[in-house]
Amino acid sequence: MTDVSSKIKPQPNFPPSQTLYLSNIDWAVKKPQLKRSLLSLFSRHGKVLDVICLRGNGSGGKCLRGQAWVIFDSQSAATQALTAERGFVFFGRPLMVNYSAETSDRIAKRNGTYGQKTKEKRAAKRKMEETEEGCAKKSARTAESNQGSDTPSPVLLAKELPDEVTSVMLEMLFRQYGGYKEVENGRQRDRNY
C-alpha cells in the first residue's frame, strides 16, 4: 500500500487560526452530504462552529467546488484537526488541509473585528474600481485615436522586436502573404513614434 501523504503537494503556510481550509474534495459529493461528513470527521477534534461548502462560481469568477472551510471554537482544536486529517482519504481523494488565509466572518464577529475587515475590503474594492475606470478611459482614448481613418493602412508597423530579429527574417515571414512589398528597417525611425 502506498503512502498517500507522500503524494500530497506542499501547502502554503498561513498563520494558525481557528478556520481550516480544505481542498481536493470530490466534486460529485452533494453539499448536504459533504457538510454532514465533514462535521462528523472534524468534530472529534473539538467543537465545530460551522462548515462552509460553496458550490458554483464564487466572487471574481473563481470556482469554489472541491473546497470547504471548517470553523472551530478554538485554535488548538483546529491545529489538532489539521495534523490529524491532512492526507486523510475522503471520498476517494487525499484531503488537503491548511489554515485559512483569512479569519472567518463568524470568528471576526465574535472577536469584534468584523467591521474592520469589511471596511478594508470596501476600500480595496473602491481602489480596484478606480483603477479599472482609469484603464477603461485610457483604452477608450486609445480606441478613439486609432479610429482616425476608416481606411486600412497598407503598412504594418512592428515595434519592440528583439535585437536578434533582422530584416531578412521579417522578409521571410511576410513574403508568404499576398500584398507583401518590402521590409523597412525602422529601428532608427522607432525613436520618432
Contact criterion met (CB below 8 Å) for 26 and 91: yes
Q: Which residue has the cell 480606441?
A: 143
User: What domains are there in the chain, each with its CATH number?
Assistant: 4-113 (3.30.70.330)
Mean pLDDT by 10 residues, the chain (193 residues): 50 82 89 93 94 69 76 93 92 91 81 72 75 63 57 76 83 81 68 49
Where would I find the beta strands (DSSP E) of 54-99? 67-72, 89-90, 93-94, 96-99
Q: Give the model confidence (pLDDT) of 160-184 as tens digits.
A: 888 888 888 888 888 887 777 888 8
Q: Please name the residue ranges forming H helices in 18-113.
A: 31-42, 75-85, 105-111
Quick one: pLDDT at residue 161?
A: 82
- How many Cα neighbours within 13 Å face the side chain of 111? 14
